[in-house]
Amino acid sequence: MLGATGSIGQSTLDIVARHPDQYRLYALTANSNHRKMVQLCRQFEPRFAVMSDPDSARLLGESIADLATEILSGEGALAEVAAADEVDVVVAAIVGAVGLMPTLSAVRAGKRVLLANKEALVMAGGLFMDEVQRYGAELLPVDSEHNAIFQCLPPGSIGKGVAGEGVRKIILTGSGGPFRDIDVELLEDVTPQQACDHPNWDMGPKISVDSATMMNKGLELIEACWMFAIDHSDVEILLHRQSIVHSMVAYNDGSVIAQMGNPDMRTPIANALAWPERIESGVEPLNLLQVSHLDFTQADEGRYPCLALAREAWQQGGTSTTVLNAANEIAVEYFLNRQIKFTDIPRLITRVMEQATSAPANDLDAILEADSNARESARRLI
């Protein structure tokens, strides 16, 4: 479990705890939240616990010295446990670019990879999908939207495209975030706390801000293009405030297949974890009588400039999506620290993209260099 203390990690572990006869935790990983890891290690007693931060690893080790769990630290340890022979499934839920390398390690070891880290595909989509095919890994989406698309498409569509399957377009849905009904002029002064107060989903701070700017949907657009081998012009984005329809696939014969459910990440996690079987997830069944009605509106890229930036980055190709992601991560970090305004996020990303030179994203070194340069550029501009 890569990213055990985050929201995806917690939802995954809730499902695992419900099915002790089917799943056993080999390794739990986290960045620095050693207090939460103490609780998790005592509950699941994994063979390994990995902390990215060495000081946190030391504190964890002191707190669970009575357990047989071995404590490791650093990026190398993340890659090591993700590729271990004993591991069948790796849940990749580390937020941000830091999740790329351990996820690639799992792919290169031929694991079933449950992908919640969208940055892996946004940063290095071409290389990542090539590695999935080369090493025979099994990639299953955990993002609610991509998991919905996965459920609505014919089997075997991941990485192979939808050509010949009669697909007209893919429809990504998004709630519009907490500011969907606020005048654009008022967005200049919104706070991090307001941005993280999502109306439907319980998510971490970074993803919550991405939802508020709709960059989350822009990253999902890029992710969908790589995962399902389609162009951005074949992906439509609709605002759907109830977050009941998680995404749809429209077919040439007029059919539109949708995946529906209450807004709870345990549903897509359970689907990917047990696929092709179905297991109980703890999610409250959807009551359509209570839902009553479903609303859909077009996503206005004027109101949500991050959507337009994501499409632009995809069209530019190469390392442009890497630059987009890196600039966004820095912008969100500084906004959460109250060092820039909410409306500065797309402004900063635009400036960084204008200054960057797109290069072919055909090897990992070029991707990591573009990522590093974009972060440096964003900090300098701030």
Percentage of the chain beyond pLDDT 90 is: 82
Quick check: 126 pLDDT over 80?
yes
Contacts of 85 (CB under 8 A, 6+ apart): none
What's the pLDDT score for residue 229? 93
Q: What is the mean pLDDT of the chain?
A: 94
Quick check: 162 pLDDT over 90?
no
* The model's pTM: 0.92
DSSP element (H, E) containing 113: strand 112-115
Tell me which DSSP letter residue 167 carries.
E
Domains and their CATH numbers in the chain: 7-141 (3.40.50.720), 150-377 (1.10.1740.10)
Exposure of 140 by Cβ count < 10 A (0-12 exposed, 13-18 middle, 19+ buried)? buried
Q: What share of the chain is helix, strand, coil (3-state, %, to 5)?
A: 50, 15, 40
Minimal CA–CA distance to 200: which of 177, 217, 216?
177
For the stretch 201-207, contacts whose Cβ atoms lie closer than 8 Å and that sit 24 or more positions apart, written own/partner, are 201/175, 201/243, 201/263, 201/265, 202/7, 203/7, 204/6, 204/7, 204/95, 205/336, 206/95, 206/96, 206/329, 206/332, 206/333, 206/336, 207/7, 207/95
Whether residue 98 contacts residue 72, with contact meaning beta carbons closer than 8 Å, is answered with: no
Minimal CA–CA distance to 56: which of 35, 87, 81?
35
Rg, C-alpha atoms of the chain: 20
DSSP element (H, E) containing 269: helix 266-274
Using alpha carbons only, give the angle 100, 101, 104 rounded to the nearest 5 degrees: 85
Strands 256-260 and 245-251: antiparallel
Cα–Cα dist 154/170, whole Å: 13
Quick check: 245 pLDDT over 70?
yes
* pLDDT tier for residue 146 given thresholds of 50, 70 and 90: very high
Three-class secondary structure assignment of 170-185: EEEEECCCCCCCCCHH
Minimal CA–CA distance to 54: which of 72, 28, 27?
72
DSSP element (H, E) containing 260: strand 256-260
Region of poorest pLDDT, from 160-169, 230-239, 345-354? 160-169
| 3-class DSSP assignment, residue 27 | strand
* pLDDT tier for residue 96 given thresholds of 50, 70 and 90: confident
**Tokens 């050693």 map to which residue?**
34
Minimal CA–CA distance to 13: which of 32, 41, 54?
41
Q: Which pair of structure tokens corresponds to residue 25?
A: 């935790």
Cα–Cα dist 338/140, whole Å: 36
Q: Which pair of structure tokens corresponds to residue 223?
A: 């992710």
* pLDDT tier for residue 201 given thresholds of 50, 70 and 90: low
Cα–Cα dist 51/177, whole Å: 32
Mean of pLDDT values over 231-244: 94
Between the two ends of the chain, the Cα-to-Cα distance in Å is 35
What's the pLDDT score for residue 202? 67
pLDDT for 5-18, tens place per residue?
Answer: 999 999 999 999 99
pLDDT for 273-311, tens place per residue?
Answer: 999 999 999 999 999 999 989 999 999 888 899 999 999
pLDDT for 2-61, tens place per residue?
Answer: 999 999 999 999 999 999 999 999 999 999 999 999 999 999 999 999 999 999 999 999
